[in-house]
Amino acid sequence: NPSASAYHPIDDACWKRGDKTPYSAFARTLELIEETSGRLKTIEILSNYFRSVIVLSPADLLPSVYLCLNQLAPAYEGIEFGVADQNLMKAVAQCTGRTLAQIKADVQEVGDLGIVAENSRSNQRTMFQPPPLTVSNVYSKLKEIAQMTGPTSLTKKLDKIQTLFVACRNAEAKYFIRSLAGKLRIGLAEQSVLQALALACAMTPPEQDYPPEILNASKKMSSDRFKEKYDEIALTLKTTYCECPNYNLIIPVLLEDGIKALPSKCKLTPGIPLKPMLAHPTKGVQEVLTRFEGLKFTCEWKYDGERAQIHVADNGQVNIYSRNQENNTTKYPDIIKRFKNTRGDQVKNCILDCEAVAWDREKKQILPFQILSTRKRKDANEEDIKVQVCVFMFDLLYLNDEPLVKETFAKRRELLKEHFKEVEGEWKFANSLDTTTMEEVEVFLDESVKGNCEGLMVKTLEKEATYEIAKRSRNWLKLKKDYLDGLGDTLDVVVIGGYIGKGKRTGTYGGFLLACYDQENEEYQSICKIGTGFKEEELENYTKFFKDHVIPQVKSYYRFDSSHEPDHWFEPIQVWEIKCADISLSPVHRAAIGIVDPEKGLSLRFPRFIRIREDKSCEQATSAQDVADMYNNQEQIKNKTSASKTAE
């Protein structure tokens, strides 16, 4: 594999300038990534591919980025692949002259329809080889397939899939089918794609004309200077993407005007959901007071519902987005209809940050999250809605053409209250208290729990009080009543394996292996086994669910000890919220290995299942660094560390 500096985007590419990027070049890149384990190496391989695209066929950069993220459009457009495995198997069978039964048997054995598709194709002789596939063509056809609806759409989809599939050569078949199935299985996270793009822009600035003379920015610079430049580009790209997570807007600006133009051209915009600010866990009022010493702050109730970013665009269109930038507008027709009740006359456009909470109209009280989660997720009819919601507004991020994220929270809150109003049972401002005394915070915390809230969010008001997009910021602290004595928070972990149950649990899984996500190395690290906290019925449901996600071989990016090997491995597909007594060093688990101790990992003691986190993807699970921070923040560990410091 060529290294970034040695790679030549023209000479080392397999296509010529002005030609369309062959899909084979893309598939080969994914194959190299799949064969590689280091994160830096992966980024380098991808950036080399991007560099060739930038120089040879820049129009293919956008489809290339989408294809390697396995997306077709920004999340909020809701365009998903979603072709059921059964149908894909049928298509593969028909195109390769094999029977559905043969394909199914192979998938059972190999565990991956992509590989079966590739093998089936390579064993097949074709009379006429259709012309080679291109990246742009595959992308646009995939998009057409995803957007087909209606009664005959399945037949039409299968026709299109088959036309493309017969044109696939070698590894193309594998990745084409995996794309359609909705999982590329190469462990390439969003952040790595962004970094690869940044590296490509640093090496081969996309706005330049190529050639004058070629083409390797780092060669002309000292390595320190290059690193500085790369860091600057990576930061600009990341910040832009957080404010405006839409490659349809970012990539054209990159190509036309270069990275420097991004901050002015791709800004916070109503109608484009931004990545929200998140809070740091704390374990007690004292910790909050210590962190915020000398700063003005406010305490707000922490409502247990669903985050709702409400956008009003210039054309008056109102949209509601989730914590993960999905479009929830059709889930909440009731909120949309009532928006006029809270919106002041002066509001032309805006972005509000809120929590939608299940609400008992008769008793005028907040209902638990579990009730909210029974609402239909999409296309709800207002007449059919049984669970009412009240929206608690806590921040205003944009108002009348002005972004407010750089303003203080005190100012944003003032503008929020000036331009929106409360309506009984529909719209409320988050209940808040500006105080600095421990006693008052404690009383307010108690009240929040009695009011069916999770605890408090404590936020800086004036200094260090901007809205930090996409950050888990120390300017927002969460204080959850339940966990004050323990860890300060629950953990959100990924289910990576299952142990077959015995005795009463025969026929279902009796336990599961859980993992945190290490962002640094992009791997899932085992953190504990869990077998308690489930009702029998739940175990049956989870068994059914995970049986569809069993993989025959453990992923190269799962870290675990062979003594804890589960009976079945699963795709990383679901996040569970877990409560535990504490976190301890472990000779067998691998969470945060190398952070707290060079050889030992961390594990959770007495883990209990709380709920599924539908709103989190596996890469958003609690990170290895978060687990290490929670471990170090435990009283007994803090005491030990300070005792050993004193001894030194």
Active site residues: 302
Measured between alpha carbons, how far is 175 from 170 in angstroms, rounded to an integer?
A: 10
Question: Using an 8 Å Cβ cutoff, are 163 and 144 in contact?
Answer: no
Q: Which residues of the chain form contacts with ligand ATP (CB under 6 A)? A: 276, 278-279, 300, 302-303, 307, 323, 355, 394, 430, 457, 478
Looking at beta carbons only, is 295 or 500 nearer to ligand ATP?
295
Looking at beta carbons only, is 229 or 616 nearer to ligand ATP?
616
SS3 label, residue 629? helix
Measured between alpha carbons, how far is 13 from 6 in angstroms, rounded to an integer?
A: 13
Measured between alpha carbons, how far is 463 from 466 in angstroms, rounded to an integer?
A: 8
**Min CB(278)–ligand ATP separation in Å:** 3
**Min CB(519)–ligand ATP separation in Å:** 14
**Min CB(609)–ligand ATP separation in Å:** 14
Q: What residues are paired with 360 via a beta bridge?
A: 365
Measured between alpha carbons, how far is 249 from 237 in angstroms, rounded to an integer?
A: 12
Tokens of 550: 């069993």
Q: Quick one: how far is CA 20 from the chain centroid?
A: 31
Measured between alpha carbons, how far is 379 from 533 in angstroms, rounded to an integer?
A: 33
Looking at beta carbons only, is 187 or 305 nearer to ligand ATP?
305
**Min CB(452)–ligand ATP separation in Å:** 12
**Exposed/middle/buried for residue 94 (C-beta within 10 Å: 0-12, 13-18, 19+):** middle
Measured between alpha carbons, how far is 492 from 414 in angstroms, rounded to an integer?
A: 34
**Min CB(432)–ligand ATP separation in Å:** 8
Q: Read off φ and ψ for residue 299, nearest 5 degrees.
A: -110, 135
Looking at beta carbons only, is 210 or 392 nearer to ligand ATP?
392
Looking at beta carbons only, is 165 or 444 nearer to ligand ATP?
444
Residue 78, number of CB atoms within 10 A of its CB: 14
Looking at beta carbons only, is 178 or 480 nearer to ligand ATP?
480
**Min CB(467)–ligand ATP separation in Å:** 11
First to last CA, the chain: 48
Q: Read off φ and ψ for residue 584, nearest 5 degrees.
A: -135, 165
Question: Using an 8 Å Cβ cutoff, are 478 and 455 in contact?
Answer: yes
Tokens of 546: 């995970």
DSSP state of 307: E
